[in-house]
Copies of this chain bind each other. A is one copy, B any other.
Amino acid sequence: MTSDGPALTGIERPGGLRLFRSLERVAREEIVTAGTRVRRVRGQSFFRQGAVAHNFHVLLEGRVKLTQLTPEGQMVLLRLVVAGDAFGGVAALGNRTYPVSAVAAENCEALAWGGRTVDRLLRRHPQFAINLIEFLADRLHDMQARYEELATEQVEQRLARVLLRLVGRTGRRVESGVLVDVRLSRQDLAEMTGTTLFTVSRILSRWQDAGVIQSKRQRILVCHPHGLVSIAEALPGPNGGGAVPSDDRH
């Protein structure tokens, strides 16, 4: 999109790229120029689960789906990567294998670094390593939270959460609400929620009747986000929070 300093497209945008936070301009430039520009059109993949991991990526433009395929052939959609996010490839450090597949959900542009390069950069720029550690810790905590949800909540609640997360990551304000600005089929939503497309369809229909959302094919408009929130937090009723004890310190 930018015309000047194209090597930084997307990189300078606010909010994104926590991975480069607190790095001096020189360091940042060294890291960015060490990467290779990669493009994928909708449907192409960056890498596939099981393949030997070569690259670490940061998405500059577009959306990427990270999916995992079970031995029985079921698909699970683990994460929707948006511009600014890093993905797939800490695996590239050891000579490992990608644990997920990464498919472009729209036309995409990313930066890619080979395993050796990442290793070199991490050693040269401790702040970069620390940023990566924080990024991974966040991903881990996120997965833990979602594991907990999957283990304890019902489908309707989980679907509400999925939608809210999508609104947060890809939402675009329009007159009648917030539009989830990615093409996602009922099947995709099911794979993100741990349910079936039938159940998703039924729930969305119900929500539409209730006026909370408005859904066309592969497109969802959230008219009344607060409605989703109260579904996500479960109707069971307000339970108080707990105290916050502390028994460590060194």
Contacts and interface: CB of A to CB of B under 8 A. Distances in A.
B248 A134 contact: no
Contact of A54 (B69, B123, B133, B248): B248
A78 to B, nearest CB: 6
A79 B119 CA distance: 29
Nearest to A190: B151
Q: Which of A76, A91, A145 has the most CB of B within 10 A?
A: A76
Contacts of A55: 248-250
A36 B52 CA distance: 40
Given A45-B247, A76-B151, 15 more contacts: A36-B250, A38-B248, A48-B247, A51-B245, A52-B246, A54-B248, A55-B249, A68-B144, A71-B239, A72-B239, A90-B137, A93-B137, A94-B134, A129-B133, A140-B140
11 contacts: A48-B247, A50-B244, A54-B250, A76-B148, A76-B151, A93-B134, A123-B126, A123-B130, A129-B130, A129-B133, A136-B137
